[in-house]
Structure 1
Amino acid sequence: MRVFVAVDPGAELLAKVGDLLREISPRAPSAKWVEPAGLHITLAFMGEIGEERLPLVIAAAGSVAAFHRPLTLRIEKGGAFGTRRRPRVLWLGVGGAVGALTAIHRDLEQTLSMSTGYVPEDRPFEPHLTLARSRDPRGDPALDACAQAVGSVDFGETRIEEIIVYQSELTPKGARYTALARVPLEGIGTPEPAR
């Protein structure tokens, strides 16, 4: 099974992002657009794992969540990964308590490494919501106009209260995500993270 651990920005915020996607997606018809319901902020991508390892992933998420409190994030200002002329990925940025989210990511990677043999990605953690990907590995020039349209958006704040373990199933219509476990952030006795 293909598994990852993430946080969900919430239904209200996803509805606002959905409105934006309906407005800008016609500008890049060749791109592969993400369904708003599938938007999430990935903390750790496990990839393909044996079903017998799933309880270890859920236990790792639970042990990390026990030490971290809920936090507030802002979804704001987008951009693109890749070159300006041929962007590959269109995204929305994450602000607010990013330091607290980064601490959750770091602790989760460390716990998963010890309990499952997970190998963390060799790049800095940049929390974001992926909106679209180029179908062409060289990039899609049409995504540049979309990047300019999302460059100044501000969807406001969202409260993150749980870590979610997802299964990702690849289908001809795109990835389908199923929540396998939801673990509340508890962090009893720790203060609300600074912004």
Structure 2
Amino acid sequence: MSMRLFAAVIPPATALNALEAFVEPRRAADPALRWAGREHWHLTLAFFGDVPDGRIEPLQHALSGVAGPPFPLTLDGAGCFPNPAQARVLYQAVSTGADELTTLARRVRSAADRVGVPSDNARYRPHLTLARTRRPAPLTRWLRVVDSFPALSFGVDSFVLMSSHLHPSGPDYRVIHSVSL
């Protein structure tokens, strides 16, 4: 058996509350956008995919050894993947703390690699996914909307290992291990 896993930073409740207050009135504004629920908001550090049961405990142990100082992070600005004209993902960008988050992601991926759990090795771009589209769509106007959200700062002093169970109604995320910085 295996478990679908990823490592992430979860913003504190105060940040999630502010994001929810901003997003909630916009959820029905565009039927092409599927807005992520508050319970899905996180900043991914590494996606591991299906990890065999025998590798989960070594992965947790390896991640517990990831060191680094806590750091400030600011969500500010907007972006789209892969580009605004043909976007599939609308996200809240990271300004302050982007370099530190990138370093943390590299350390998490290296620790996982050392115990035989490879990550997706995708180019890392710090972000918090707000919405997705089923088909590529122009989201330029939504970039301006998300960009109008006031900067939101908080401290990053931990990260988590999460399981992801896919369902027709969407993913179910559960924290299975927490690591303090």
Letter of the 2:126 partner, please give it: P
Which structure: greater strand fraction?
2
Residue matched to 1:140: 137
**Structure 1 residue matching 2:162: 3-state secondary structure:** strand
Residue 104 of structure 1: how far off its partner (Å): 1.2
| 1:55 matches 2:52 | no
Flag structure 2 segments of 5+ consecutive residues without an equivalent. none
Query: Equivalent residues in 2 for 1:1-195 (5 A)?
Result: 1-64=3-66, 67-123=67-123, 125-136=124-135, 139-141=136-138, 143-185=139-181
Tell me how far apart the structure 2 counterparts of residues 96 and 147 of structure 1 sit (CA, whole Å): 19
Residue type at the aligned position of 2:155: R
Q: Do 2:22 and 2:149's aligned partners in 1 also have CA atoms closer than 8 Å?
A: no
CA distance in 2, matches of 1:104, 1:2: 21
For residues 158 and 148 of structure 1, what CA distance do their matches in structure 2 show? 23
- 8 Å CA contact 1:31–1:140 kept in 2: the answer is no
Displacement of 1:110 = 1.2
Q: Residue 28 of structure 2 aligns to a residue in which SS?
A: helix
- Assess, with a 3 A threshold, how the Cα gap between structure 1 residues 132 and 53 changes in structure 2: closer, same or farther: same
Residues 109 and 120 of structure 1 are in contact (CA less than 8 Å); yes or no, is this contact kept in structure 2? no
Gaps (5+ residues) in structure 1?
Answer: 186-195
SS of residue in 2 equivalent to 1:68: coil
* Contact 2:77–2:95 (Cα < 8 Å) also in 1: no
CA separation in 2, counterparts of 1:84 and 1:120?
24
One-letter amino acid of the structure 2 residue matched with residue 40 of structure 1: H
Q: 1:163 to 1:42 in 2, by over 3 A?
A: same
Conserved 8 A contact 2:62-2:115: yes
- Residues 27-66 of structure 1, C-alpha deviations (whole Å, 9 max, x = no match): 32132221012101111100011122111221121110xx
CA contact (8 A) 1:90 1:132 kept: yes
Q: Which moved more, 1:98-107 or 1:3-12?
A: 98-107
- State the Cα RMSD in Å: 1.6
Tell me the secondary structure at the aligned position of residue 125 of structure 2.
Answer: coil
